Structure 1
Amino acid sequence: MITPRFSCSQTDTEVVVKMYCPSVRASDVEINIDEKLFSVHVNPYFLRLNFSHPLKGDDDASASYDAGSGYLTVTLTKETPGQDFQDLDLLAKLLAPRPSEQPPQQPVIEVLSSEDTAANEEDADEELARRTQRLTLEQEEILRAAENDWQLPQEVPQPLPQLKTTPEYRYGFLDMHSGYFRHVTHTENEVNEIGADAETCPPSERRKRRLKHEDEKWDEEYYMADYVEDEYIQELLHWQNPHTDSTEGFHYSEEDNATMLRLPRKEYLAMPQQTHDLYLTLLTLLLSYAYDCRTTQHDPTPESAWTLSVLTPAFSALDPAPYSAEPPPPDPDKFSAEELSATFSASYRRVFAFPLYRSWVLAEKCRADVAALLGQGKRVIARCLLEMKHILDHHEVYYIYSKVWLDDFCVWTLAYASDETLHVLAATVKSLKMEKSMIGRDLDELEASAQEAMRREPDSDDESEDEIERMLPAPL
C-alpha cells in the first residue's frame, strides 16, 4: 500500500482531509471511522490517521474526487462541534499508531503463553516437593542447624551478571537498533570512536573511549588562539537564529511534509526514566544543531554532516545521556541542575576538541539558542531535527546516524514529547550556570595566560621601537 501525500484542515464542525491519489476510481473509496481513528482505502493508496478528538461515524462523512487534479477530499464531522483538533499539521503524529493509555512503569515483556493459575500453583508445589527430596546430606545438616538456631556463616550474594544471549550490544533510540556498524571498517567514518567494536562494545566501554578520544584531541594552543583571535567568532555571536523568533504563521514546507510521510510509524513504549533520558539526549542534538546553524549562519556546508555527527556523543560514540553520576530526580518530569550541567559539559568538551571554532562564549551562545528553541515547542524542535536529518541523509556515510537516532527522534518529538515539559526544560536551561571547571580543562588558567600574553605584547613592541631609535644615527 502507498501512503498518499495529504493535508488536514478544520472548521468549527468538520475536519477536512485532502489526499493526492491520481488515477483511481472514486467508486472504490472505502472510509472507516472508529472514534478518533480514521482510515481510507482506495487501491493502491491507504491512509490511517489518529486524531486528538472523536469523530462521528461513517454515515456522517462524505468524499469527493477531482479527476483533473487527482485529489480526494474527505469531510469528517466532529463529534463535538467547536472542538479544536490540535496538531493537524504534525503529519508524523497523525500517522503514528494509537498510543497506549498508560505508559509502562517497568520493562515491557511479551506473554507467550498462559495457563490456569490454580494448575500452576499445584505444579509449583509438586516441583518444590521433588526438589526438597533431592537435598544433599550437607543441605540437610544446614537445615537442622537452622532449626536449632545456630549461628551460621552468611555472605552477601553477588549480583548476577547481565544476561546476554548475543555478543552484540544494541544502540540508538531506546537501544532499538543493531547491525548498522557490522561493516564499519569498510567505510570512511571519521567520527566513529569505537571502531570495529561498535556492535560488541558495552555502554560503559563506549563512554571510556569517548572520554579518552576527547582528551587526545584537546589542544590548548588551538583554544588559546581562538580566544585571542576572535573577530569572526564575535560576528557569529551577533547572528540571529531564525527559529528562535516568534512562531506566528509557522508552517512546514512541502519537503518537511514529504519527509514526515517517510518516517517510521512506531509506538514507543518508553518507561518514565527512559523518557527523561530522551529529553537529555535531545539537548545534545539541539546543541550540535545550534552550533552548525550559527557557524554556517543557517546555510549548511559540505562539512555540516561531519560537524553534527562529531559534536553529538550519541552519534560518534553511541553514548547518549545521562552523563551525571548523581541519581536522577524522583520525578521524571523534573531536571536537576547537576544532570543538565553534565549533559552540556559532554557537548562542550566536544566543541573544544573537534570543530573549526573552539570558544567558550560560542558554546554558551549555542546553549542560549537551545533554550530558545525549547521555548518554541515541539513544532520548531521537529523542524530542527528534520533539517539535521536532511543534512545527514545526503551524506554517504553519516546517514547511518539518521537511521538509528533521528528518524525515531522526529516521530517521538512530534507524537510523544510534551510542550509543557519542553517549556520547563527551556527555563531551566536558560537559567543554568555553567562553570568552566565543569569541563575538566584548565580554561580559566589558559585564558588568563592568553590575557597576560596580550598585555605583554605592546610592551615588547615599544621596547623594539626604542632599540631601533638608539641604533639610528643622530640627526644633523
Structure 2
Amino acid sequence: MITPAFELTQDPDFLTIVIKVPYARASEFDVYFEGEDFKFYAKPYFLRLTLPGRIVEDGREKASYNTDKGTFTIRLPKEIPGQYFEGLDMLTSLLAPKKSRSAKPLVEEIAASAELSEEEEEEFDWEIEQTPCKDSAESSIPQYCYGFGNLRSGVFQRLQDELSDVIDIKDPDQTPVDERRRKRLEAESAKFEPDHYLADFFEDEAVQHVLKYKPWWVDAHKKMTALKGESHQDQVTHTVGENIFVFSEEEREQLRKFTNKSYLLDKRSRHHVYLGLIDILLAYCYEVRVNEGDKNVESSWNIRKLSATLCWLEGFTNVHDVLVSFGRRVMCYPLYRHFELVTRAFSDTVMILQLGKAAVLKCLLDIHKIFMENDPAYILNDLFITDYCIWIQKAKSKKLAALSESLQKTTLTKSHIGFELEELEAAAVLVQEEESMLKAAGRVSRQQLPSSESETSDSEESSSTSSETEGSDSDEPESSTSEDGKINSVQDTLQEERTAPLIDCNGLRQGTNTSTFEVSDEKSKVSLQSTTPGKLIAELEKQMHTAIRLSEQPEGSGTPGSVLQEQDENRVSESDRLSEDTDGKGNYLEVSSKTNPLLFLCGTNEDED
C-alpha cells in the first residue's frame, strides 16, 4: 500500500482533508471516520489518520473528486462547532495510531497486526527493548549519554572516521558533561582573536547590511501581532500558523518519511531538550541572516559550529548559559564576529518560539535538509534533528510559549561573554583618538613647513659644503684618537709659526708659489703647494741682495766662509729647537689636516752654494 500525499485545513465547523491519489479509480474508494479516527482507501492508496479532535457523521459530510488533479476533497463536520483542532500541520503525528504508541524511547511505532487479537497484544509486547550481549571488558568501561534527550551512547565508537568532521569533542562516549564544558571553554578562549573582533567592530559595513535583512518570520510575527490586537484571543498564534506557515510539498514529503516515535523523558531530560532547541535555533537564525536566506557550502558548518549542543554535545542547565555559549562561539568561529549579530539572533529566536511549533518545525525541517546534503553532518540528523522534528509535533504549545517568555526575560551583555570585549573596544577607541590627533598635528606642521623650508635647505647645503671641503682637504681617513692627540699638541705649539712668514733653515724666507713640500709620517704622504703672498717675494729679493753684498765685503771684515759657518750654527740651533716638537728624529713636523696643515722639512746636512 502507498501512503498518499495529503493536507488538512479547518474552519469553525468543518475539517477538510485533501488527498492526492493520481491514477486511482474514482468509483472504487472507501472512507471511514468516527471520533478521532479517519481511514481512506483507493487502490493502491491507503491513509489512516488520528485526528486532534473529534468529527461526527450527521449528513453534512461531503466528498468530491477532481479528475484533472487526481485529488479527493472530503469535508467532515466537527462534533463540537467552533472547536480548534491543533496540530493539523504535524503530519507525522497524524499518521500514528494512538493504540500502538510505545512507552519506550526511540522505538518505532507500528500498527497492530490484523492477525492478532487484543488479548494476544496484551500478553506479549512486540516492542520490548532488547539489549545485545556485551563482554565483561566492554561493560566495565563507563559510557556517557548524549543526543536528543541524552538517549544515545556508544554511537561514535562505530563512527570514528566521521567524528573529527562533525563534532569538536574527542571520545564523547568516555567524556562526562562537565569535562565537555571545561574543554569547550578552553577551546573558545584559545580561538578568540581580538584583532578579528575589532576589525568587525570598526569596519562593520557588511554586518550592518545583513542586519537589515528580514527573514520570513519577521513578517509572520507582525501579522500575528496585528491579529492579536484585533481579536484579543489566545488562539491567534494557532490560526496564524494555519494561515501563514504553509508547508511546501518538499517539506510534506520530509514529514511523511519520518517514522513516528514516542519519547519517555524525565524532567531533567525534557529540560535539556528545550534548552538544546534554543541553542540550535540561535545558530540557525545566525546562518539565515548572514547568508540572507540563501544556502551555501558553509551553511552546515555555521549551524553545527555555533551550536554547542551539536558541536560539543553540551547539556545546558539554564537559558542564560545557552545565550553565553552562543555569544562566545559567534565571537570565535564565523566570518562575521559582531555582538549585534548575537542580539539579533536572540530576538529572531524569540519570534520563532512565539509563532508556535509550526514555525519551529519549519526551521527544523530546513536544518534537516541542510545536514542531509552534507556528508558528515547527516550523523547530527540521526542524533538530534530527526527526533526534534518528530517530538515538536507533539509538544505542547503552552510549553513553547513559556519557553519564549523565559528567553525574552533573559539578558546578555558583552561582559557575560568573558573575552573583555568592552575593554578591547575602549582601548581601540583611545588608539584611534591618538592617531587622529597625530594626523591633525601633522597637517598643521605641513602648513607651516614652506616658511622654514628655505632655512632648512640652506643649513643642509652649508653643512654638505663644509663636509665636502673637509673631505677634499684630507686625502686619508682621520687618525686614531691617540694620534690625533699627538698632532693636536704639535698644532698648539706651532700656532704662531702657521701665521708667521715661513723661514727655512738658512734664515731665508721661502717666496715661491710653486714650491712643493712632501712629507710622510707613519701612515701617509701629503703633497701641498705653498702659495706665499707677493710681499714675501719682495722680502726674499732683499735678502738675496744682502747676501750678495756680504759676499763682496772687503778683507778684514770677515770672509764668506765665516758667514756661512755662522749661518750653519744658527741652522743647527734652529733644527734643535724644531726637533723638540717632532718625533725625535728631527725630520718631520705635522699639523692636523683639519686646518690646512703645513708640513716642514728641515735638512740639517744640506750644502748651500
Shared fold (TM-score, shorter chain, > 0.5): yes
Q: Which residue of 2 aligns with 1:227?
A: 201
Q: Which residue of 1 aligns with 2:269?
A: 274
Q: Supply the distance in 2 between the matched residues of 1:217 and 1:283 (Cα, whole angstroms).
A: 24
What is the CA deviation profile of residues 266-325 of structure 1, one whole-angstrom value per residue up to 9, with x for unaligned ones? 122223343233221111111101111111111222211100010011111111322xxx
> Cα distance, 1:45 vs. partner?
3.7
Aligned positions of 1:78-227 closer than 5 A: 78-96=78-96, 98=98, 168-178=143-153, 180-182=155-157, 184-187=159-162, 189-195=164-170, 197-227=171-201
**Which amino acid is the alignment partner of residue 417 of structure 2?**
I
Report SS of the residue matched to 1:352.
Answer: helix
Q: Which residue of 2 aligns with 1:424?
A: 402
Asked whether 1:399 is paired with 2:373, we answer no
Question: Are the equivalent residues in 2 in contact too, given 1:241–1:294 (CA < 8 A)?
Answer: yes
Report SS of the residue matched to 2:52.
Answer: coil
Question: Are the equivalent residues in 1 in contact too, given 2:65–2:72 (CA < 8 A)?
Answer: yes
Question: Are the equivalent residues in 1 in contact too, given 2:150–2:269 (CA < 8 A)?
Answer: no
> Cα distance, 1:445 vs. partner?
1.2
Question: Are the equivalent residues in 2 in contact too, given 1:239–1:297 (CA < 8 A)?
Answer: yes
Q: 163-172 vs 343-352, which deviates more?
A: 163-172
Q: Supply the distance in 2 between the matched residues of 1:315 and 1:347 (Cα, whole angstroms).
A: 12
What is the CA deviation profile of residues 173-215 of structure 1, one whole-angstrom value per residue up to 9, with x for unaligned ones? 11234565345443485452123x2344333333233222222
Asked whether 1:378 is paired with 2:378, we answer no
Change (3 A) 1:173 1:99: farther
**Which amino acid is the alignment partner of residue 52 of structure 2?**
S
Q: Supply the distance in 2 between the matched residues of 1:76 and 1:165 (Cα, whole angstroms).
A: 59
Asked whether 1:310 is paired with 2:305, we answer yes
Report SS of the residue matched to 1:449.
Answer: helix
**Which amino acid is the alignment partner of residue 79 of structure 2?**
E
Asked whether 1:255 is paired with 2:262, we answer no
Q: Supply the distance in 1 between the matched residues of 2:278 and 2:359 (Cα, whole angstroms).
A: 14
Q: Which residue of 2 aligns with 1:445?
A: 423
Q: 458-467 vs 226-235, which deviates more?
A: 458-467
> Cα distance, 1:171 vs. partner?
2.1
What is the CA deviation profile of residues 368-422 of structure 1, one whole-angstrom value per residue up to 9, with x for unaligned ones? 1111222222211221222222222211121221222111112222221x33332
Report SS of the residue matched to 1:363.
Answer: helix
**Which amino acid is the alignment partner of residue 367 of structure 2?**
M
Question: Are the equivalent residues in 2 in contact too, given 1:32–1:58 (CA < 8 A)?
Answer: no
Q: Which residue of 1 aligns with 2:114?
A: none
Q: Which residue of 2 aligns with 1:296?
A: 291
The one of the two structures with greater contact order (alpha-carbon pairs below 8 A, sep at least 6) is 1
TM-score normalised by structure 2 residue count: 0.59
Q: Supply the distance in 2 between the matched residues of 1:190 and 1:468 (Cα, whole angstroms).
A: 58
Percent identity over the alignment is 30
Change (3 A) 1:19 1:180: farther
Report SS of the residue matched to 1:51.
Answer: strand
Q: Supply the distance in 2 between the matched residues of 1:165 and 1:64 (Cα, whole angstroms).
A: 64
Question: Are the equivalent residues in 1 in contact too, given 2:49–2:94 (CA < 8 A)?
Answer: yes
Q: Which residue of 2 aligns with 1:362?
A: 341
Q: Which residue of 1 aligns with 2:607?
A: none
**Which amino acid is the alignment partner of residue 410 of structure 2?**
L
Change (3 A) 1:232 1:45: same
2:326 to 324, 347, 355: 347
RMSD over aligned Cα, in angstroms?
3.6
Change (3 A) 1:177 1:95: farther
Question: Are the equivalent residues in 2 in contact too, given 1:31–1:58 (CA < 8 A)?
Answer: no
**Which amino acid is the alignment partner of residue 88 of structure 1?**
L
Question: Are the equivalent residues in 1 in contact too, given 2:149–2:270 (CA < 8 A)?
Answer: no
**Which amino acid is the alignment partner of residue 364 of structure 1?**
T
Q: 288-297 vs 406-415, which deviates more?
A: 406-415
Question: Are the equivalent residues in 2 in contact too, given 1:4–1:47 (CA < 8 A)?
Answer: yes
Q: Which residue of 1 aligns with 2:214?
A: 240
> Cα distance, 1:452 vs. partner?
1.3
Report SS of the residue matched to 1:85.
Answer: coil
Q: Which residue of 2 aligns with 1:159?
A: none
What is the CA deviation profile of residues 1-28 of structure 1, one whole-angstrom value per residue up to 9, with x for unaligned ones? 5332111234555433222233445677
Change (3 A) 1:57 1:443: same
What stretches of structure 2 of length at least 5 have no aligned partner?
105-121, 124-137, 225-239, 455-609
Question: Are the equivalent residues in 2 in contact too, given 1:33–1:58 (CA < 8 A)?
Answer: no
What stretches of structure 1 of length at least 5 have no aligned partner?
105-112, 115-162, 323-338
Change (3 A) 1:274 1:177: closer
Larger Rg: 2
**Which amino acid is the alignment partner of residue 302 of structure 1?**
V
**Which amino acid is the alignment partner of residue 172 of structure 2?**
A
Q: Supply the distance in 2 between the matched residues of 1:184 and 1:429 (Cα, whole angstroms).
A: 35
Q: 5-14 vs 362-371, which deviates more?
A: 5-14
Report SS of the residue matched to 1:18.
Answer: strand
Q: Supply the distance in 1 between the matched residues of 2:304 and 2:216 (Cα, whole angstroms).
A: 22
> Cα distance, 1:72 vs. partner?
4.2
Q: Which residue of 2 aligns with 1:54?
A: 54
Q: Which residue of 2 aligns with 1:460?
A: 438
Question: Are the equivalent residues in 1 in contact too, given 2:156–2:163 (CA < 8 A)?
Answer: no
Question: Are the equivalent residues in 2 in contact too, given 1:193–1:213 (CA < 8 A)?
Answer: no
Report SS of the residue matched to 1:415.
Answer: coil
Q: 197-206 vs 92-101, which deviates more?
A: 92-101
Question: Are the equivalent residues in 2 in contact too, given 1:321–1:343 (CA < 8 A)?
Answer: yes
**Which amino acid is the alignment partner of residue 254 of structure 1?**
E
Q: Which residue of 2 aligns with 1:120?
A: none
Q: Supply the distance in 1 between the matched residues of 2:446 and 2:434 (Cα, whole angstroms).
A: 19
Q: Which residue of 2 aligns with 1:18?
A: 18
> Cα distance, 1:31 vs. partner?
4.9
Change (3 A) 1:340 1:57: same
Q: Which residue of 2 aligns with 1:132?
A: none
Change (3 A) 1:30 1:411: same
